[in-house]
Amino acid sequence: MRFRNRSEAGKQLALKLSPYTGDPNVVVLALPRGGVPVAYEVARALGVPFDVFLVRKIGVPGNAELAMGAIASGGVRVLNDDVVNYLHISEDAINEVAQREQRELERRERLYRGNRPIPNLRGKTVILVDDGLATGATMKAAVAALQKAHPARIIVAVPVAARTTCEAFETMADDIICTCDRTYEPFYAVGLWYDEFQQTTDAEVRNLLEQANSPRAFQRNGQLVA
């Protein structure tokens, strides 16, 4: 299965999550930026609240696309020990990249959220959405950080993922939902599953958040939610 763009992928993913439609205890959180258009469509289809959860990949020096870990709001850091050990990456090098990504995480927090607080997730079922999982480092950081908020359940939901990464989340999260029932190895990259995979902009993220938090937000069974 291929997707035309992230919006279509979100609509397809929502079909897999239909049992949560209209559930007042469900919150959809997106990993910016690529996960936001996907999660927006999921939340709109389910009629549940939508927000973002800030996480940044820690890329390997000289090869930023290869994740050696990730950081998330709340001071959480997750490292991919296999990558770090194989490439003999020093702690100083890790810290240098992590500090740079921390500044970017804080910038985006201010830009996307402003003064709006993170929703209260205690006792909620949190559906955590991204546009796909390759190594899963960013999602692992998000799951670790969300556990500190004491939700009832954490569900990882993505349009596509590497098979081995899906298996890893079977023990990390309460459930993992993937639109593609079958994935293939070697996985290579998330973008290969999309016809259109241009970078999601800050303006697009803000626009979707504003729509989700407007007075005419998502509705389900005649009731406003947001």
For tokens 């005419």, the residue is 216
pLDDT value for 114 = 81
**Is 217 domain-assigned?**
no
pLDDT value for 148 = 85
**Is 221 domain-assigned?**
no
What pTM, to 2 d.p., does this model score?
0.83
Q: How many structural domains comprise the chain? A: 1
**Is 154 domain-assigned?**
yes
**pLDDT interval class at 64 (50, 70, 90):** confident
**Is 155 domain-assigned?**
yes
* Mean pLDDT of all residues in 63-73: 86
**pLDDT interval class at 182 (50, 70, 90):** low
**Is 225 domain-assigned?**
no
Angle at 57 between CA 117 and CA 39, to 5 degrees: 55
SS3 46: helix
Give the strands of the sheet with 76-79, arranged side by side: 55-60, 63-72, 76-79
Average pLDDT of the residues of the chain: 89
> Which helix (H) or strand (E) segment is 171 a member of?
helix 163-172
Minimal CA–CA distance to 16: which of 50, 53, 44, 42? 42
CATH of residue 41's domain is 3.40.50.2020
Render pLDDT for 72-109 as a digit per residue (tens, 0 to 9).
877 788 888 999 999 999 999 999 999 999 999 989 88
Please report the sign of the dihedral spanned by the C-alpha atoms of residue 109, residue 50, residue 205, residue 198. Answer: positive
**pLDDT interval class at 66 (50, 70, 90):** confident
**Domain boundaries, position 108:** 6-212
pLDDT value for 95 = 95
Minimal CA–CA distance to 194: which of 34, 31, 30, 14? 34
**Contact between residue 158 and residue 133 where contact means Cβ atoms under 8 Å apart:** yes
Angle between the N-to-C axes of helices 91-113 and 202-212, in degrees from 0 to 180, rounded to the nearest 10: 50
In this structure, which long-range contacts are made by residues 75-82, counting pairs with CB atoms below 8 Å and at least 24 apart in sequence?
Answer: 76/141, 76/144, 76/145, 76/148, 77/141, 78/137, 78/140, 78/141, 78/144, 80/135, 80/137
Q: Convert 85-97 to b/e letters by CB count within 10 Å (16 or more is b).
A: eeeebeeebbeeb
Render pLDDT for 118-166 as a digit per residue (tens, 0 to 9).
788 999 999 999 999 988 888 988 998 898 889 999 999 999 999 888 8
Residue 223 has pLDDT above 50, yes or no: no
